[in-house]
Amino acid sequence: MITRHPLGRQDLRIKRRDKVLEIGPGHDPMFRSDVIADKFPHDDTHRCGKVLIYPHQQFIEADGEQLPFEKDAFDYVICNQVLEHADNPARFIEEMVRVGKRGYVETPSMLGEQMFPKESHRWVILLIEDKLVFYEKEKMPGNYRNNYGEVFLNYLPYQSLPFKMLYVSEPNLLLNRIEWEGTIEYLVNPEDDYYSSFFTRKWNREMTMKIFPPRRGLTEINRTLQASYYLVREKLGQKIHKRPSPITLDEYLAERE
């Protein structure tokens, strides 16, 4: 089940002694991960550069839909910007919850996919009533060829504080961000008109409020304060806790020969 919606990857509830698996981090692994599993170590089609890894981590070439680990082998599993690429997201999720007790999932939302679509993304994903709902992009109406990622990924997150606040305080606007424990509810290409309508029809007010329910003024103030604190803490953490830079997979393997 979904336990919370983190403000970002620096807001995860990972315990100090947790054994952490990260699936498919590509060029952007988390320092906290103990084991890195990647299906395509030498094919950069699905990422923005070569596989990187920190020296303290263990690397395993593995498919997220068929993980070579025992049940509950990990306390926490991170899956960041991967499920939208999966051949079989249902199988991927079942494997995640099999090998992990808890974890974090992040994917582009439907609006995020409209703003910065990637050809390698097979699925458009919405969080509806605490379910991750996957809909094949080829079945979707609309134009997924215009890519504004240079603005929304490479400019605004680094140059615009108001955009950063929006990015953090609205967890499911451009990204779906969830922490889970035990299980994850999901649907793939739902035929039920209720779910499919979110992907194939113009949203009315009722549909919009279902995805983005109205909030009280105090809730808005609290979210704004939490987002401000998160951004300040993240910035200070980067300055105070100097960590080694990740190295390429080739460098990592050469060190272990």
Stated length of the chain: 257
Residue 71, pLDDT score? 98
Give the closest residue to 212 by CA, choosing from 179, 171, 164.
171
Give the closest residue to 127 by CA, choosing from 85, 62, 83.
83
Segment among 125-129, 141-145, 156-160, 218-222 with least mean pLDDT: 141-145
> Under CATH, to which class is 2-255 assigned?
alpha beta
Q: What is the CA radius of gyration of the chain?
A: 18
Beta strands in the chain (DSSP E): 2-4, 20-23, 35-38, 52-53, 58-61, 74-80, 100-108, 123-128, 131-136, 175-181, 186-188, 247-248
Residue 78, pLDDT score? 99
Summary mean pLDDT of the chain = 91
pLDDT in tens, 105-126: 999 999 889 888 888 899 999 9
Report domain extents, the chain. 2-255
Which residues does residue 123 pair with via DSSP β-bridges, in sequence order? 136
Q: Give this prediction's pTM.
A: 0.92
Give the closest residue to 148 by CA, choosing from 111, 181, 185.
111
Beta strands in 167-225 (DSSP E): 175-181, 186-188
